[in-house]
Amino acid sequence: MKALHNGQIAWVRRACFVLCLVPLGRLVWLGARGGLGANPIEAITHSTGWWTLAFLMLTLAVTPLRRLTGMNWLLRLRRMLGLFAFFHAALHFATYVWLDQFFDWTAIAKDIVKRPFITVGFAAFVLLVPLAATSSNAMVRRLGAVRWQLLHRLVYPIAILGVTHFWWLVKKDLTEPVLFACVLVLLLGARLVWRARTVRAVARVPAASVR
Amino acid sequence: MLIRRPPDIAPSEITPPDLYRRRRAFLRSAGLIAAAVGTGVVLPASRVRAAAQKLPNTRSGTFSTTEDRTPYEDVTTYNNFYEFGTDKDEPAQNARSLKTRPWTVAIEGEVRKARTIGIEELLRLAPLEERVYRLRCVEGWSMVVPWVGYSLRELIRRVEPTGNAKYVEFVTVADRRQMPGLAYPVLEWPYAEGLRLDEAMHPLSLMCVGLYGEVLPNQNGAPVRVVIPWKYGFKSGKSIVKIRFTQTQPRTAWNRAQPREYGFYSNVNPEVDHPRWSQAKERRIGEFRKRPTLMFNGYAEQVASLYAGMDLKKNF
């Protein structure tokens, strides 16, 4: 595919930004007209949680898609997608703390310690914070590319924790958690396969030619 | 006048409610639901309910709570009825296809008068009462629902359980053509729930045929269900086609699915958490702050004696 020039990329990013606001916009719109059903707090919790996972998957899809299609400009969307994942995670967490538990810190602390699905969900959120905090260009420069990349590999365990959180909380119908898990296995699996190939390719090169 | 009438109907059975029902079935088959609603029920035009048929001669019963009732809209659109889908709004969408006439309930097992009872007879078996009960779901939300029915014991007495009958099993209809959720093995179908006989005989245990003074909407378990208000909602089987009296404890739907999480008793108990979440509080539908969950869902005075001497942590 032909490379996009900067002007086109700017447009794609604007469009992507607007699209990423649609889930929340829908939630606000439904909420304002009482369209969230009998249990709006549950609806908000589920929606923000679902979209956190969806944005995490989209973020993780950038690299494989870029490799498969050669559309390098996709990389320019990744930070935005990652920040939207964090944004929805923060909304999800705020919904839990405020709307669901109403700042009952004792109950919240108990939940985090005693309820495995909350433990892993909370862990995933905590781990997301440093990634969001170091997402600016300035922070990349300050940390240096190598350390920055190492830190941002945290997104893998975060995604695993996030899907586990979903898996462990559903009462019985595992359809959606299983779907997320399949997507995640695919996205992480692709990386492992490529990595293994690279290692093998390097091994095949005569030692003398390895710089 | 065009009335479809089974040939074997006794003249004594042509009571006004029956007449109404058959006429309504005819009209519905002709696709005139709105007209049917209009014939008997005055409703705001904005909210025409397909199943809004008033139940006649309903008197207000004992045991009713005076707490604010959960709005009809919420009671009938936020349901767990996995045979019609696992999302809360799916039963209201998918249960329309359930045909509730003709309908029979088979009474089997350890009873002297095992037989199959038609829904018309069940509706007339005992005077209908309105019972406003709290409903606590195991998921942590609750409602207040004005059910219509009569004590389950009215039925049980009439079929005369033998001395061997220790438990009662309630089996829900399982018809793949009418219930899209059955295509997924989320639970073992048919859905079956059970009670100890003395629990079923408790006057609070309700044989339920309606809510808000009207015929039970399909998504709430039409045409007949049980309501056991001191137990988590899933214990109250919906759309019942079989009631079986047994000597041994029947296997029950959620217990089969996850024995560690759902016991046979499943009494509402704020002190015994679900393994994955707390049961100490609940969100009453329509309220913002959670409220504390009450022992036996607030019916401790009536039912605690059923469990005297039992370890409720072990028998969860």
pLDDT tens for B86-118 read 999 999 999 998 999 999 999 999 999 999 999
Contact yes or no for B78 and A111 at CB 8 A: no
Q: How far is B270 from chain A (nearest CA, A)?
A: 14
Cβ(A40)–Cβ(A56) under 8 Å? no
Burial of residue B208 (CB within 10 Å: 0-12, 13-18, 19+) is buried
Supply the pLDDT for residue B97.
86
Contact yes or no for B286 and A38 at CB 8 A: yes
- Two tokens, residue B264: 């046979």
User: What is the distance of C-alpha B179 from the center of its chain?
Assistant: 17
- What's the total number of domains in chain A? 1
Supply the pLDDT for residue B156.
98
Question: With contacts defined as CB-CB under 8 Å, which chain B residues touch A31?
Answer: none
b (16+ CB within 10 A) / e for B252-273 = bbbbebeeebbbbbbbbbbebe
Nearest to A39 among B184, B281, B285 (CB): B285
Rounded to two decimals, the ipTM of the complex is 0.84
Question: With contacts defined as CB-CB under 8 Å, which chain B residues touch A98?
Answer: none
Contact yes or no for A172 and B277 at CB 8 A: no
pLDDT tens for B264-277 read 999 999 999 999 99
Is the confidence at residue B5, as pLDDT, over 70?
Answer: no
Q: What's B298's DSSP letter?
A: G
On whether residue A1 sits in a domain, the answer given is: no
C-alpha Rg value of chain A to the nearest Å: 20
On whether residue A52 sits in a domain, the answer given is: yes
Q: What's B70's DSSP letter?
A: P
Is the confidence at residue B11, as pLDDT, over 50?
Answer: no
Instruction: Tell me which amino acid residue B233 is.
Output: G
Question: With contacts defined as CB-CB under 8 Å, which chain A residues touch B181?
Answer: none
A30 in B contact zone (CB under 8 Å): no
Interface test with B, best of A39, A119, A175 (most B CBs within 10 A): A39
Q: Identify which of B229, B118, B230, B240 has the alpha carbon closest to the alpha carbon of residue B168.
A: B240
On whether residue A102 sits in a domain, the answer given is: yes
B286 in A contact zone (CB under 8 Å): yes
Is the confidence at residue B45, as pLDDT, over 70?
Answer: no
On whether residue A57 sits in a domain, the answer given is: yes
Look up the CATH number of domain B62-307.
3.90.420.10
Contact yes or no for A39 and B258 at CB 8 A: no
Nearest CA in chain A to B79: A38
Is the confidence at residue B19, as pLDDT, over 90?
Answer: no
- Per-domain residue ranges for chain B? 1-48, 62-307
Question: With contacts defined as CB-CB under 8 Å, which chain B residues touch A112?
Answer: none
Query: Which residues constitute the domain of residue A156?
Result: 6-209
Question: With contacts defined as CB-CB under 8 Å, which chain A residues touch B73?
Answer: 38
Secondary structure (DSSP) of B226-243: EE-TTB-GGGS--SEEEE
Cβ(B174)–Cβ(B189) under 8 Å? yes
Question: Angle at Cα B187 formed by Cα B183 and Cα B192, nearest 5°?
Answer: 110
